[in-house]
A and B are shown apart, each in its own frame.
Chain A
């Protein structure tokens, strides 16, 4: 979600009218899915929640949209465009590296501080969010007067050329840039796998940039003396690069720049960019009213759509629409319906409680688990809720166990939270460690999930719900644990269970049992091994059991 800094003064100037902060916060910013996030002197902070509309990520774009919603302009925004005569020649082979480039010229620009700040912010946000951190769209902006067209978009060997990149004063090869330049290091993963790297250069072999990494210092620096701009966007999808270019130059046009188009010559095609030809869509009145529930008349729909900056023609209850070329977010008529509702105003709508008659119910297994949870306070145990994230050390080493397969996180934030637990007793022992100075006896339990590996399952794992119970006290023992387990099982109507001798290194040998119901192992029960207690820094005996409720439920079914 792009967070934007915009100048309040600048916004009012571009909007063409005074507007109060309160009106912006409570009404106008909602038209651009913007959330007011405070004002610092003249700087308005706005979170724009619309991640698919880069045209709204600048003061120019916000003002353009608001002009429609406030009735200052209506219908599709207009941008004048004439040919520049400049060509970009795309060499063969680029289709395998970074296939698409589009470009435009903006002349007679008056570079102000506001323009510069917004141009850089828009460029950054578009590349970061819409361009997926430059992978799908990277924008270069140059001083046109330092370039000698035609422009070439070609692939160059890692050591095949040298130029001075921005933020440096040394001639560097593309390989050196990727290895040593801060931007090169940051974006090297986008190029590393290729034999040759993309380069934009002019007819005099002056390098403009190495997209999507860095511009050259000579041509790629825009200052307050710059009068004419050359803008290019490279990327992997022709729709995405065109949208990004249209968004950037539309903002420049709103500040009075004269836009000119550029001809892109691919080996097998010719494209003119930017392209402001409106896109078209059709939507029925009935669909609009079905989704919105607003029961709007045709004339109302026309007004709302014009406010949302569409050109509208309604015939036979079908709305024919034209909308700006940079709106790539409109995939389906439902996207247009949302624009209508936003223009109508979410808070102008009267909410209606739906009358749908259904019978509510809890999940049956959850009801069973809840029954178990409610049993344990009866024996004096305190219920816990623990995290399922833990680590191998806790699950195996501290529990005196050999490692076995468990779910492991590939990108943990901390080694402490790098695995999902496969049983619950370790969480209870960890809890005891944190509460050694509290009053004894301490009797605790948790009915919680853990995850085991199950190669047959769709997710290769199975989520298991288990009841773990434990008591720490000077005189706790196997009998106590067994009494509690017996109480739980009897309360669930199970009296025909058996307990067999078991081998389990977390417990004292000879004082650990495995509980079987209808031949299936459902629980381990016993006195925790002193070595384990030592590992958890516990100086009191612990008895515990862990009952598999998922399996138990299946058996009882």
Chain B
């Protein structure tokens, strides 16, 4: 950049500062000289000049001892011990001395130590008398007093007597304080040395701000605009944004809708009937115990749906009903089915949707908030989202189930390869677990799936095979959001929410 270029880009604030600059001038001195500028304006102007390589700003960190609140007062009116002593003659009554109570007790302690007074307790109160040593000390400035006059002073410049005074004053309330100060000194660069010699006015006829008046009067014509340093850093803006994990879920929803799935929703509090019984999970199943699922203290029981469904579910459990199954061989208890609980898995949504009645072919998905008794840590949430769904059609079989899962792995997880593992779920048979090879994450367990058992679907009046799936998408979300701690999906860190990249 030529010198003219630099000058043409100078901000009015920079123009104000330039003539005031001297080699090695301190910021404070400069501030005193730049009477029309605020401290922040001066600071910004200097930073811009530094960006333009006109000056070097040297910053020294200094520890400085300075007067605190009380110190400032004492410097003007004298330390309490001097004020007290100057009022003491022989047998002076304490109550007659003009001094505050706090100052009195501090001053008494110090004067006694110096043997400057004697104290006598009489029935009318305390009486003080000045000693010869006291008289002498009245004539002389104490170390503390002369120290206060020197302030502010840098810590490293302290002499021995200063250190003594410092230690003694430190014990006392708000007389001195130690500050850490940035001392800024300005040095002109070779460019700067030349520029301050130029006549700034020569290149000063440019427009700084385009304002409406100029546009109305066309006065901008034939004028040039001051050039800006477009490479400059600007303060960050804080704007409102969507929650990143919810945005991730929206992306996935969009993909599923694109694949022909309808969204289903359901209540957070479920009956065990929909959470387990409809899904053919026997009432003595370990997943239904207190260690595996939450139960409610209040309200405890809900209402079962209409008898037709309840009876069909009951006989499916007890003897397989009309499905050709043996069932689980036990007496199904409607009271257990009525018990309420926070939804434990997303499949409860599918159960509810099927019980409501569906039109074949049907493709449904849902994102369900689920609850399990886990502790909150970097790898566990106390509540989490599951993505579930099902497809009901006469053409469904195990091959098409694998086909759909492979499609999910590719479309949703960006997988390059899949592998299938036999698995067990109480509500599906055959059951499968899918692993997907993600280009960055490697092999991840993507989810479980299967064909709903006929004991389940037939009890709900569905005569065609129904394939059901549940995808674990949190690891994918964590990868996309660049986090290792799962709690960030429900982040309570405002800074992170304001700054994280959206996916």
A residues at B contact (CB < 8 Å): 1, 30-31, 33, 35, 49-52, 129, 132, 135-136, 237, 239, 290-294, 331-335, 337-338, 341-342, 346-347, 349-363, 365-366, 370, 373-374, 376-389, 405-414, 417, 420, 430-431, 434-435, 438-439, 442-444, 449, 451, 453, 455, 457-463
Would you give 8 A-B contacts (Cβ < 8 Å), ordered by A? A33-B424, A50-B424, A354-B391, A377-B241, A389-B383, A413-B382, A461-B340, A462-B267
B330 to chain A, nearest CB (A): 7
* B422 and A431 contacting across the interface, CB-CB below 8 Å: no
* B324 and A333 contacting across the interface, CB-CB below 8 Å: yes
Minimum CB distance partner of A337 in chain B: B430
Q: Report the Cα distance A370→B257, complex, angstroms.
A: 15
Since A332-B324, A417-B376, A459-B303 are in contact, a sample of 17 more A-B pairs with Cβ atoms closer than 8 Å, ordered by chain A residue number, is A33-B423, A49-B423, A135-B284, A237-B330, A291-B451, A293-B400, A354-B393, A354-B395, A354-B404, A356-B391, A360-B260, A360-B261, A360-B262, A362-B253, A385-B243, A457-B302, A463-B267
Q: Report the Cα distance A272→B320, complex, angstroms.
A: 27
CB within 8 A of A379: which of B240, B268, B325?
B240
A382 to chain B, nearest CB (A): 6
* A351 and B340 contacting across the interface, CB-CB below 8 Å: no
Interface residues of B in 241-278 (CB under 8 A from A): 241-243, 245-246, 250, 253, 256-265, 267-271
Interface residues of B in 400-438 (CB under 8 A from A): 400, 402-407, 418-424, 429-433
Q: Report the Cα distance A208→B176, complex, angstroms.
A: 86
CB within 8 A of A346: which of B258, B303, B371, B432?
B432
CB within 8 A of B260: which of A293, A357, A379?
A357
Contact A463-B268, Cβ < 8 Å, known A239-B329, A442-B494, A449-B369: yes
Q: Which of B22-30, B88-96, B112-120, B290-298 contacts the other chain?
A: B290-298
Contact A351-B432, Cβ < 8 Å, known A294-B398, A388-B383: no
* B363 and A346 contacting across the interface, CB-CB below 8 Å: no
Contact A332-B320, Cβ < 8 Å, known A354-B395, A434-B492, A449-B268: yes
Minimum CB distance partner of B257 in chain A: A360
* A351 and B423 contacting across the interface, CB-CB below 8 Å: no
Interface residues of B in 152-203 (CB under 8 A from A): none
* B489 and A385 contacting across the interface, CB-CB below 8 Å: yes
**What B residues does A337 contact at CB under 8 A?**
429-430
* B373 and A411 contacting across the interface, CB-CB below 8 Å: yes
B470 proximal to A (CB < 8 A): no
* B495 and A351 contacting across the interface, CB-CB below 8 Å: no
B239 proximal to A (CB < 8 A): yes
Q: Report the Cα distance A418→B169, complex, angstroms.
A: 55
B396 proximal to A (CB < 8 A): yes
B346 proximal to A (CB < 8 A): no
**What B residues does A457 contact at CB under 8 A?**
302
* A405 and B298 contacting across the interface, CB-CB below 8 Å: yes
Minimum CB distance partner of A26 in chain B: B419
Q: Report the Cα distance A474→B298, complex, angstroms.
A: 41
**What B residues does A453 contact at CB under 8 A?**
299
B498 proximal to A (CB < 8 A): yes
Nearest 5 A/B pairs, CB to CB: A293-B397, A293-B399, A377-B240, A351-B402, A360-B257
**What A residues does B224 contact at CB under 8 A?**
none
The total of Cβ contacts below 8 Å across the A-B interface reads 282
* A362 and B263 contacting across the interface, CB-CB below 8 Å: yes
* A459 and B302 contacting across the interface, CB-CB below 8 Å: yes
Contact A389-B382, Cβ < 8 Å, known A33-B422, A383-B246, A453-B299: yes
**What B residues does A443 contact at CB under 8 A?**
240
CB within 8 A of B302: which of A362, A387, A458?
A458
**What B residues does A335 contact at CB under 8 A?**
429
**What A residues does B361 contact at CB under 8 A?**
356-358
B351 proximal to A (CB < 8 A): no
* A460 and B301 contacting across the interface, CB-CB below 8 Å: yes
Q: Report the Cα distance A282→B420, complex, angstroms.
A: 28
* B490 and A385 contacting across the interface, CB-CB below 8 Å: yes
A93 to chain B, nearest CB (A): 21
B residues at A contact (CB < 8 Å): 238-243, 245-246, 250, 253, 256-265, 267-271, 284, 286, 290, 294-303, 305, 320, 323-330, 340, 342, 361-363, 369, 371, 373-376, 382-383, 391, 393, 395-400, 402-407, 418-424, 429-433, 451, 453-455, 465, 489-495, 497-498
* A292 and B240 contacting across the interface, CB-CB below 8 Å: no
* B453 and A332 contacting across the interface, CB-CB below 8 Å: yes
Contact A291-B430, Cβ < 8 Å, known A349-B402, A461-B269, A463-B269: yes
* B393 and A407 contacting across the interface, CB-CB below 8 Å: no
- Of the candidates A358, A376, A434, the one having the most CB atoms from chain B within 10 angstroms of its own CB is A358
**What A residues does B419 contact at CB under 8 A?**
347
CB within 8 A of A338: which of B403, B430, B492?
B430
Q: Report the Cα distance A442→B362, complex, angstroms.
A: 45
* B260 and A359 contacting across the interface, CB-CB below 8 Å: yes
**What A residues does B489 contact at CB under 8 A?**
385
**What A residues does B498 contact at CB under 8 A?**
382
Q: Report the Cα distance A388→B393, complex, angstroms.
A: 36
A217 to chain B, nearest CB (A): 31
CB within 8 A of B420: which of A293, A346, A444?
A346
Contact A352-B369, Cβ < 8 Å, known A411-B290, A413-B374, A434-B492: no
* B240 and A381 contacting across the interface, CB-CB below 8 Å: yes
* B399 and A352 contacting across the interface, CB-CB below 8 Å: yes
A438 to chain B, nearest CB (A): 5
Q: Report the Cα distance A414→B375, complex, angstroms.
A: 8
* A385 and B398 contacting across the interface, CB-CB below 8 Å: no
Q: Report the Cα distance A354→B399, complex, angstroms.
A: 9
* B325 and A382 contacting across the interface, CB-CB below 8 Å: no
* A387 and B391 contacting across the interface, CB-CB below 8 Å: no
Q: Report the Cα distance A442→B241, complex, angstroms.
A: 12
* B302 and A460 contacting across the interface, CB-CB below 8 Å: yes
**What B residues does A334 contact at CB under 8 A?**
429-430, 451, 453-454
* B242 and A354 contacting across the interface, CB-CB below 8 Å: no
**What A residues does B342 contact at CB under 8 A?**
407, 409, 420
* B267 and A459 contacting across the interface, CB-CB below 8 Å: yes
* A435 and B397 contacting across the interface, CB-CB below 8 Å: no
Q: Report the Cα distance A453→B296, complex, angstroms.
A: 13
* A351 and B421 contacting across the interface, CB-CB below 8 Å: no
Minimum CB distance partner of B287 in chain A: A51
**What A residues does B245 contact at CB under 8 A?**
385
Q: Report the Cα distance A347→B398, complex, angstroms.
A: 12
Q: Report the Cα distance A47→B31, complex, angstroms.
A: 74
Contact A237-B383, Cβ < 8 Å, known A49-B424, A334-B454, A352-B400: no
Minimum CB distance partner of A455 in chain B: B299
A385 to chain B, nearest CB (A): 5
Q: Report the Cα distance A49→B424, complex, angstroms.
A: 6
B71 to chain A, nearest CB (A): 29
* A386 and B490 contacting across the interface, CB-CB below 8 Å: yes
Contact A408-B242, Cβ < 8 Å, known A136-B284, A351-B405: no
